[in-house]
Structure 1
Amino acid sequence: MIGTLRSAAAIALILIASLPMALWQIIALKSNGRLDDGRIPRLWHRMAVRLLGIRIHVRGAPSKKRPLLIASNHISWSDIMVLGSLDEVHFIAKAEVATWPIFGTLARLQRSVFVERQARRKSGEQATEIARRMSDGDPMVLFAEGTTGDGNTLLPFKSTLFGAAQMALSEGGSETVSIQPVAIAYTRLQGLPMERRHRPHAAWIGDLDLMPHLLRLLREGAMDVEVHFGEPITFTPGDDRKKLAREVERQVRDMFAAVLRNPA
């Protein structure tokens, strides 16, 4: 009963706060740069993780270098709120997200880039859009596995959208692009360490319905997540994006494994 009341209260507060924040964000986006269009999404994410009962532990920090591509593993929809609460970042999201009720609108207001990962013919066009945004100074977050994992293991990183770094060099006029590896791991539930069989509790995998998963997290509450920012890798003209993807994956995998062995 208490969990249900907490869920209803949290959802109500998020919805009530979202309307004025969305209106302000629309005004900011129409101001042609005169108003900061990154501050409101960050405030919204901070509010959301607090109401969801997610405690964030951070090691390292988002890089201030530009152009910047942040390459992270992916476990749940909540990863977006977690990373979005830490810095004014923009996300590379799968095309279906744009059609989701509420979340699709929020993603558009945060100026997410929507990609069709299965449409290989569009990969060049999509990478070009990401490269343009990076060249304009927007830090872009890429969930490099292309889907969500189960919270225990990482899936292989896909190299296709790392091509955006190459395009930022060739088309944006930048001499280098920074690629920052990031590892996300959910480690505790109600203060108790998550073991292997419990970590999928946080994961949102495949075609699971979003709302039941959201309501379950709200009812149970109090979840800890660790975010580890690695040192940025400098990408230069002539570097191989596939080798880059493998090196970023290696670093994320090492940080992820270290968190699971010894959570904060």
Structure 2
Amino acid sequence: MTLRAIATLTVFTVWTLLLIPLQVLLIRTRSPLRRSLPHFYHRSLAWLLRVKIRRVGVPSAAAPTLFVCNHISWLDIVVLSAALPASFIAKHEVNDWPFFGLLARLQRTVFVERNNPRRTAEHRDEMRERLESGDNLILFPEGTSSDGLRIHNFKSAFFAAAEQPVRGRLLTVQPVSLGYSRLNHMPVGRRWMRFFAWVGDEDLLPHLWRFLKAGPSEAVVEFHQPVTMDAFASRKGMAAWCHQRVLEGLSDINAGRPPGRRSLPPAVAG
């Protein structure tokens, strides 16, 4: 297992260093491929890391779309970016991380100070600018990662971008459930969730190393009903509705129930 982990880490490093100059060039020339190369890159990483990705439902075809998803681990970035071409909204501290901060910038991540309410309007405007340019964005509205078994409340301030029209129409918001269902071909459950969930003060590299030695895994990504703000009385109502959809999806994934078969209630004002 250790030799395989070392080989995986070596290939990851070489492959990443080869693609970094290409993405820099694509960004500087504003090539449309700057949006698709990270998608290709993370699909290759999912294969390298032996993560099988099972998609349930259909991603919104509206351009742009704000995808809102629960957050469990650094691995979410690989899984979600492999599942759809989009950029992320991340906490400002990620920008300062060695190496991984560079990768986040190359994926054209929008960095926000989540604990600074005075900058909410500034971050909203930056998000709107990216959405107006046609970029899909992925938001983790919990504001932090969870243990993979439950979901923190969604912070309604992150839904501010959905309150005003983008490109002449209401912004499409699609809730997404992400869970890790199998490890070494066995159900994950509570016992093995620690191989995926990255919470607390644990350093990134030890968690990454433990995962690399663990074996093949499966991630499930469920796309729920897309909505727009006109179905709700406020962004707080939208945040609560999206939270419930994502929670239902994660509960099914963790329980081993077939996702996507429940009867989803329509969006209602709230």
TM-score (norm 1): 0.93
Indicate if the aligned counterparts of 1:150 and 1:203 stay in contact, CA closer than 8 A.
yes
The corresponding residue for 2:267 is none
Alignment-mate amino acid for residue 103 of structure 2 = L
Indicate if the aligned counterparts of 1:157 and 1:246 stay in contact, CA closer than 8 A.
yes
The corresponding residue for 1:69 is 66
The corresponding residue for 1:39 is 36
Which residue, 222, 241, 262 being the options, matches 2:256?
A: 262
The corresponding residue for 2:20 is 22
Displacement of 1:22 after TM fit? 1.0
Unaligned 5+ runs, structure 2: 259-270
The corresponding residue for 1:8 is 6
Displacement of 1:237 after TM fit? 9.5
SS in 2 for 1:197: helix
The corresponding residue for 1:246 is 240
The corresponding residue for 2:156 is 159
Q: Give the RMSD, CA atoms, in angstroms.
A: 1.6
199 and 237 in structure 1: CA distance in 2 versus 1, 3 angstrom threshold: closer
Indicate if the aligned counterparts of 1:135 and 1:174 stay in contact, CA closer than 8 A.
no
Indicate if the aligned counterparts of 1:147 and 1:206 stay in contact, CA closer than 8 A.
no
Which residue, 128, 137, 140 being the options, matches 2:137?
A: 140
Displacement of 1:165 after TM fit? 1.4
In 2: Cα distance, 1:237 partner to 1:224 partner: 34
In 2: Cα distance, 1:263 partner to 1:18 partner: 36
SS in 1 for 2:33: coil
Percent sequence identity is: 37
In 1: Cα distance, 2:70 partner to 2:29 partner: 34
Aligned residues: 258
In 1: Cα distance, 2:119 partner to 2:71 partner: 23
In 1: Cα distance, 2:203 partner to 2:107 partner: 23
Indicate if the aligned counterparts of 1:175 and 1:237 stay in contact, CA closer than 8 A.
no
SS in 2 for 1:220: coil
Unaligned 5+ runs, structure 1: none
The corresponding residue for 2:172 is 178
Alignment-mate amino acid for residue 180 of structure 1 = Q
